[in-house]
Amino acid sequence: MFTGIVEEVGVVAALQARGDSAVLAVRADRIAEDLAHGASIAVNGVCLTVVGWEVGDSTEIEFDVMGETLKRSVIGALAGGDRVNLERAVRADARLDGHVVQGHVDGTGVLLSRTPGDQWETVRFGLPVDLARFVAEKGSIAVDGVSLTVSGVGADWFEVGLIPETLRATTLGGKAAGNPVNLEVDVLAKYVARLLETTRS
């Protein structure tokens, strides 16, 4: 489980295809401090398992990426030099500063527009229609693994406000219109929807 509070922005070293899967290598420093084989790390909001690492100027961490992940997220489009949001799994004795994020991407969206404010930016993302029912104003959503509060929502879009710290400390500050992003809707909304579906049938 994660919180959507990005700990570090890493850099992709390589993404190597292996049949219908791939191996992703990411350079990082802070999240490499307590690496363990089999540990979970969210990479742009996708929960991946550490399968190895190599220590150098920066630690290069390797993750196996299965075909399902490549299909459902934008991980497969990463290339060497791309920046990625990184977060280690939350500790049981830590504060939950964001919201409950599983690292299970529900779909992908695209950045539609950015509107600068005095101290923040309003950013609009395209939203797959089948996910729209899970997104509510003032509710939570994870965009590339960043926990955000929805400030507006339409049939196929939602908006968030990005404060200076989010613009600085995550990859969202450098995204442009047309860039794809991973989306994870609030898990509680998904469970409520499922309960309602099964109650009706």
β-pair type (46-55, 140-143): unpaired
What per-residue confidence (pLDDT) applies to 196?
Answer: 85
Please count the other Cβ atoms lying within 10 Å of the Cβ belonging to residue 193: 13
Task: Report yes or no on whether pTM surpasses 0.85.
Answer: yes
Q: What are the structural domains, with CATH classification, of the chain?
A: 8-88 (2.40.30.20), 107-200 (2.40.30.20)
What per-residue confidence (pLDDT) applies to 16?
Answer: 95
Higher-pLDDT residue of 12, 200: 12
Q: What is the mean pLDDT of residues 155-181?
A: 96
What per-residue confidence (pLDDT) applies to 126?
Answer: 98
Name the H helices within the chain: 67-72, 164-169, 187-200
What per-residue confidence (pLDDT) applies to 201?
Answer: 62
Q: For residue 141, how far is the Cα from the chain centroid?
A: 10
Query: Amino acid identity, residue 42?
Result: A
Decide: 84 and 171 in contact? Cβ < 8 Å. Answer: yes
β-pair type (146-153, 157-162): antiparallel
Residue 200 has pLDDT above 90, yes or no: no
What per-residue confidence (pLDDT) applies to 53?
Answer: 96
Backbone angles phi, psi at 105, to 5 degrees: -65, 130
Higher-pLDDT residue of 198, 74: 74
Q: For residue 137, which of 167, 120, 127 has the smallest C-alpha distance?
A: 127
> CB under 8 Å to 104, separation ≥6 — which residues?
47, 184
**Per-residue pLDDT tens over the stretch 107-141:** 999 999 999 988 899 999 999 999 999 999 999 99
Virtual torsion, Cα 186, 187, 193, 199, nearest 10 deg: -160
**Per-residue pLDDT tens over the stretch 20-64:** 999 999 999 999 989 999 999 999 999 999 999 999 888 999 999
Backbone angles phi, psi at 175, to 5 degrees: -75, 145
Average pLDDT, the chain: 93
Decide: 66 and 18 in contact? Cβ < 8 Å. Answer: no
- Give the HSE-up count for residue 147: Cα atoms under 13 Å, Cβ half-sphere: 20
> CB under 8 Å to 165, separation ≥6 — which residues?
none
